[in-house]
Structure 1
Amino acid sequence: MDINTLHKPPIVFKQMTWSERLIVFCGVGFGSGLAPKAPGTFGSAFALLFIPLWLTLGFYASVVAILIMSLVGIWICGKTAEIIHVHDDGRIVWDEFAGQSITFLPLIYLGQMNWLWALIGFALFRLFDVWKPWPIRVIDRRVDGGFGIMFDDIIAGFWAALCILIYFYFK
């Protein structure tokens, strides 16, 4: 367990109202963010389960669904942080759901989605989410609230998607 995890208060669902429990349950990625180590990685891995949904919806409907997921996520992440009293807590992984999903949009559009590309997309998203190159690092440090929690992962998703697009362009 890393030092940051030791200083975070435990999430006590018993002390919450039912609506707060539902919000936090969504914010922690339906429980995937409660993994004792690497909650962001577990949340991103859980987001792989959305791939069949994105394939069923198709590209344009997936873009709309991911946009809605991101907009709702701003509220969910902000409210979860408020309820558990920790800003951008690592256990909040709804933002990983949106960012990881954005990564797969080029693959859906190009009809190239398969499990190898799902793993490559997963790895690229995690790389950018952990490494936090410009402008992700700036956003992560300077933007507060639910928007700040969501936006750095959305940008990481776009960076990963851009890498995939560049590969297929120059292939």
Structure 2
Amino acid sequence: MAIAFLSVLYSGRSPKAPGTAGSALSVLLGLPILLYSAQTLFLLACLLGIIAVREIDKWEAYSGKHDEKWIVIDELVGVWLAMAIIGAVAGCSVSLMILAFGTFRLFDIWKPSIIGRVDRKLKGGLGVVLDDVLAGLVAGVFSLVVLAILSRFGVDLSLW
């Protein structure tokens, strides 16, 4: 059961790009919740993040390995935060969810500034999850800036 949770229903076991596979499945899993309520998605991301820290700590104590590639529950937490931020302000559309996914993956892979520092310095479950939390929050805010700029040019992604 812990492996299914940590790997987001085994999507993290993808032989290629497990983080991207986990993030993509997480967007699909989060959509029905977002359609119900952006606040609910945000709160569930927070709750799952707390549970993930504990479960990752237990897994790392068992395996002796830190931040294994197949563990992608942290990607779920991050992308759900980005989706919730965008959804709360701009709504839910295919283009907005692609924006949430894309910006989250950008910041999760690039790891600029504090995101990279957290990834390098913190160990255990908190280190695994917190950099994705920060990437999700930055991605959500960055996406809102992109949407504001696009709206100045008459482009409304919430319609697509």
TM-score (ref. length: structure 1): 0.81
Residue 26 of structure 1: how far off its partner (Å):
0.8
Match of 2:59 in 1: 80
Count of aligned residue pairs for this structure pair: 149
1:114-158: per-residue Cα shift (whole Å, max 9, x none)?
Answer: 111111111111111111101111101100110000000000001
AA in 2 matched with 1:54: L
SS in 1 for 2:65: coil
Unaligned residue ranges in structure 1 (runs of 5+): 1-21
SS in 1 for 2:66: coil
AA in 2 matched with 1:130: I
Match of 1:153 in 2: 132
SS in 1 for 2:80: helix
Match of 1:53 in 2: 33
Aligned positions of 1:117-132 closer than 5 A: 117-132=96-111
Mapped to 1, the partners of 2:85 and 2:130 lie a distance apart of: 19
TM-score (ref. length: structure 2): 0.86
RMSD value over aligned CA atoms? Answer: 1.4
Unaligned residue ranges in structure 2 (runs of 5+): 152-160
Indicate whether 1:94 and 2:37 are aligned.
no
Residue 47 of structure 1: how far off its partner (Å):
0.4
Aligned positions of 1:20-59 closer than 5 A: 22-49=1-28, 50-56=30-36, 58-59=37-38
* Higher helix residue share: 2
Identical pairs, percent: 29
SS in 2 for 1:37: coil
Match of 2:50 in 1: 71
Q: Is the 8 A contact 2:86 2:100 kept in 1?
A: no
